[in-house]
Structure 1
Amino acid sequence: MDALVPDIDSTVTNGATAAANTMDTFQMKDLSTMEGSDTQLHLIDEDKQFSGELANFIQHKWHLNDAGFNYHLAAVFGSQSTGKSTLLNRLFGTHFDVMSESARRQTTKGIWISRGKGMRVLVMDVEGTDGRERGEDQDFERKSALFSLATSEVLIVNMWEHQVGLYNGANMGLLKTVFEVNLQLFGGNRGKEKTLLFFVIRDHVGATPLTNLANTLLADLDRIWQSLSKPEGLEDCRITDYFAFDFTALPHKLLQPEKFEEEVGKLRLRFSSPSDPEYVFQPPYSKRIPADGLHIYASGIWEKIMTNKDLDLPTQQELLAQFRCDEIANVAFGQFFEAIKSFRHTIEAGTVINELGSVVKKARDEAMISFDKDASRYHSEVYKRKRVELLNKLHSTLEPYFVGQLKNLHKAALALCTTQLQQAFSRKDDSQAIDFSVVSKKAKDEALDLFITGAKAIRLDQTEWEYEEEQFQLERDLLELANQQREKELTKMLTLLEKHLKREMDEPIKLALDQPGPNMWGRVIDTYKTTLDEAQVMLRKKSQVFDLEEEKLTLMEENLRRQAWVLMTMKVQEESIEGLIVYKLLNRFEEQFQRDERGLPRVWKPSDDIDAPFRKARNEDPLTGTKFVLESTDDFDFEQSLKVLSETRQQEIGNQLRRKADATFVEAKRSIVATQAKVPYWVGVALVVLGWNEFMAVITSPVYLSMTAMVGVPMAALWYLGMLGMVQTVIWKVYEQTADFGRERLRDMVLEQPVLASPPQQWDRPQLPPRVGTGASTSSGLERHSSGLSQPQLRRSSRSEDREEERSNGEFEMGDLGETKKTL
């Protein structure tokens, strides 16, 4: 830092001769011969307004518009009433106002600018610092100092010798602020251009060498530079990257007037003569701003300074007001938060708090009243600013409560609408017609009223809180909820109608299929149409409450018609299983063959004519004249017929029926033959003689006698009634069914096993010859099928036959909406 201090004493001595040559031309001349005050411009007034006449003065008053870069700009900085204007007038021949010795009051207000006499130098006379007129308001001091530092090539720092080493007296605090803001605003010019800080130490008596004074100032400047808060990327910058330093001293103006004028003359040479070795306007200090653009550059710098908040440092009164207002605001906020914090968990839990609006408004108002009571006594601007900050803080704290309450109101409104709709349609009294549009509108209006009332209660004045967006979303949700509820009720209604269709069609269709004949399908279709017509009437009646459009109602009727067709065909499919058909047809045959005209079971005797009833029952084959093809109706235009049983399968069913009928006929014949057989008399005598001992053993033993009675009495009764052959037949049929079931299960297990080495083979079911037992009974066929052939067994026994038929031409076709279903 010592290397930065020039040898000022030698400089003054060496310049004495040159200064003497210029004293006659300037030192003692009458200042009235200089340019008048009309060449001075009030560049920035005391109200911080930048003059718009700078360009005019540069061109017409100072004649520097064509100077280009060939001009210089200097400014003065220092405390008020330290002779700054006097120094400038002596150095540059200007006419800046100077302080009256008798008044000692402020003369320079704002910033004045003028051209130096006989030189291309613009000089700015800056209002002094620490003046009683502005008091604690240092805002203009900071801004004017920064403006001078940013625009001038040389900033003359004017100070008394006794101010060196002082912090406030030497304006070090002000310089610190100016340096810090200058670094933030213009730190990017590091190393490109510098400003010369030219320290002029006034009233120097010589007791302290100028070198020591310079070192003290440099040490103070370096210390405050190190304490600056530097921007990112400039942490390691030094003060010499932006500023150069020079120092000079002037004698006391009143005590040493001649010496003072002599030193001023020497100093003038350094500002006016480029040939002077100590010439201050060196190229590194130039801002490189053309003279015709100086007004734009200077006004831009001032605007940038005015908009920078870092220069708006508070006064002591403002600092006190800030501190106390912050304390008062914290106390008021604490009381406010204690009053509302208990509502947070309730709101987060989704509960609507009806009294929340009044509570938070009261808490906010009480906090503001408490703040106003204590803080209004302090600085008015600070108080107003802190009041706004506190109010914003209170509103920011309350905003989550407002948003949470809106969400809870939204949920509550939806729940209310849902409850209203459900209650309206849960009534069991059908005598009261319900208009869905009226009910839904009422439910939506009540839900919206609930939301809007709650939202208005929680919205506070002096806020920008709005609930219209949430209300719009609620209206859309309510509309969607009403539509969902309507669809739900329509689905319930259609489900009930489908159940009604199934319930009303199942029994009539089953009865029609149990009695096959030429008019069988006619009865089925009639049942379908009748039931569908009833369902459509019910649909029209019940849908009136939903305010449906005719297009949607027509679509629902079409879907109901198709669903009715599906239910009908499913029932036909269920009742048309091949084994079940054979079972039904065989039952019908046995009804005709084994029962008389009165419906009583027949007991065949040798004298009875079996052939006639058999031919009659066989000739009344239910398949005769019955077409197992469900044709398209007028209501449904299918591309093809829906075949329930193909012609081939009908023929096979007929063949099975005839075979079983023939077996029944043969069994009846054999039962008659069995009853006609006679046992020879000698057989009875032989049995008595040979079996006498066994007979006596049986009748004398209670155990044998009981067992013989339990078996013999039923057998004797059956023989006497002629039913022994029927019992034998039933036992044999049970055996056959059991064997068939076992073979079927075995075959399924073999077919399900994966083939490892050979391709699958066709398994042929072995055909067992019919077994006809002895004995006769009038009800043998009915009891045989009722006891030995249950419906599930018939279905299982027909699986293999169904598979063989599926490989053949036989098909069981089923349709839903014209789609051919798979073969059963």
Structure 2
Amino acid sequence: MSDLKEAIQLIDENKQFNPSTLNYFTKCLGDKNVGVKYHVISVFGSQSSGKSTLLNKLFDTKFDTMDAQVKRQQTTRGIWLSHSANIYSSGAANQSIPDFFVLDVEGSDGAERGEDQDFERKAALFALSVSEVLIVNMWENQVGLYQGNNMGLLKTVFEVNLSLFGKNENRHKVALLFVIRDFTGQTPLESLEASLVLELEKMWSQLSKPEGCEDTSFHDFFVPNFFGLGHKVFQPEQFDNDVKSLGDLFVDQDASFFKDEYHTHLPLDGWSLYAENCWEQIENNKDLDLPTQQILVARFKTDEIAAAAYNKFLNDYQSQVTDSLDGKELATVLKTLQSTCIDVDYDPFASRYAKKVYEERRDDLIKQLNTIIDETITNFVTRTTSSLIETFHKNARDRSLKGPFKLKIQSALEKASRTFKTNLAPFSELELLSSMDAYISKFEARVNTEVADLQERELNAIVARFNKGLTIKLKDTILHLLAKPTINVWDDVMKEFTSFLDGSLKKYTNEDGKIDFQTGATTDANDKTEHTLKRNAWSFLDHTVHGYLTEDNVVDIMRNVFNDKFRYDDDGMPKFWKNEAEVDASYRLAKSQALSVLDALAIVKNKDNVEILIPEALLESDGDGSDYEENGGQEEEEAGLYHQQRFSHVLSALQKDKIITKFKQFTDLVIIEAKRSIVNTTERIPLYMYALVVALGWGRIITILRNPATIILSIIVLAGAYFVHKLNLWGPLLQFANQATGQATAVLKQTVRSLVVDEEPKRKILVEPHESEGVDKEPSKNDQHL
């Protein structure tokens, strides 16, 4: 056994428990096994009342003490713990003394903490919870005072102690040793004792007692003892003898300080854990539970049996439960594992211990098993749900089944729900599930989500097919009408547009005239889809019209109209003008018709001259249809009006001016060309000149035609031209000629450049002799210039 006397701070001033307490016990005791043969003593009292000094003298400890000659101040902070195997007494030195563990508690009513009494209350309560003997250190002149002898603090501590320990069947008693310091004997100790007991009993009667503790008395929880000590300074010998007498009481085996009911009956390592838990519960204001040894053993053994049964359950579970089991097989396996764990592996062994502990641990074990069983059932339900959802999708999209889409969904939904309930029923029959409603509700919610998703996809597919039909069936027709417009072009366009839209919606119209897309969706969903189709159709028409009728395209359309009327007659034959009057007449007619086409294309209106607007309902957002906000409603209304007018007003006045300017440039060139062709025709070479040329050059013509070389060359040229024309090679031939010309030009440039370069050395050779002959001569002006 070590003779270490150093103390450790069990609880610091910040209320933190020392985690190395058990190591301190090992240092103090070494290999000695004290079991429950140890005692815990604590001291409580006002600050600077000599508590640490008394403990050091009595138990031979080394607690820090105050030097009164320097300053009276707080010395002990928190709660300190020290081991002692020596008691200052009048007995023999070799007397057998048990191991003492002494707690030095921070003094109360200290100036350092001021009005903060939280720690001193908790420290006093902790000392009561873990000690067998609580030494209350007080001065003789403090007896009869309320605050001076800490009665106010004791009242608070007793009240909390009663609320914590009052309901325990085996009440933890504590020996209260009131040590009266500077005892002069003038007032008999018995009188002081009576006064203190009376104060304690009166204080106890005034406590706020919890339910069930109304009839308890002070002596049910505490055993008061009293001892007087002489003055340490003025009566040093008396003080020393009194301390020895007090030590004799601790050493005497017959003394009443160490009764069995005071001890916690815990091994020392268990006391360390117990003290830490007590402090944690006191700090957090939790109820303390001080179980007996029998309860502790029962808990330990039932925990051990339950752990073994649970581990066996887990091993069997891992080997027997697989994903391949169907609902009935899985339910049977789980029920067998549960019954074996509880009825075979736990109950026969654990039922021999305390019934309450056995039943509590049994309930805990069942909860553990149910957690795994519930998790297994949940995983099974998840797999089953995923499989049924996949099957549901296949059945709902099965093209081999005839009928509307909503009938396919309804049939697939009924089949999935029926299969799910069949798979889940065995778990309920074997009482593994208290109710299937939660799982069924969750499955139905999941399926309904999938149904809504499929319905939305089907509606989106209808919209996609409709949009595709707009591009395939309607776009080319509209562009054809716009490319060759008439005065009533917009009536023709709207006729085609309305015909397509009505025809697309006709197959979804029921007898009441309502649109039902046969997906099983709600009326709101059908209305929203109808709204989307119509809005997409008008949007398509808007984009097609405005995308095609650009300024350049409109100019081209007017050119085509102008050319058709200017260059061709009503039968489609080319016109041949005899004079400028005919050209001017054709020009005015063609130009007027082209400009009328511009006016027709500029604004979308019918033959009654009424603008065609996008329906106002199709310009609304897809919101909840609520009224416009006060600030934003006017802006949204103006935006809707703008979109309506934007559709009908294809070309603005500025765009029309630009188009007319470009068109006029084109028509001016055309009429100039037409009139020039009339002049050229009128001023041609007379026919007699051709006859005169033939007559005068007839001999030369005959000579050339009779030359064999000319004949052969003509035949080759004509044959080559025939084949080139027949094979359509004029383009490649011209390209080849251009490339050959380019290469020839490059070669010619290179040749000229090389000749210039070769001439330069010769010129230098001719100049150098003259320079050598006239070295000392001044260079001429021409040389200087060079």
Larger Rg belongs to: 1
| Greater relative contact order (CA < 8 Å, ≥ 6 in sequence) | 1
Q: TM-score, normalised by structure 2?
A: 0.47
Q: TM-score, normalised by structure 1?
A: 0.45
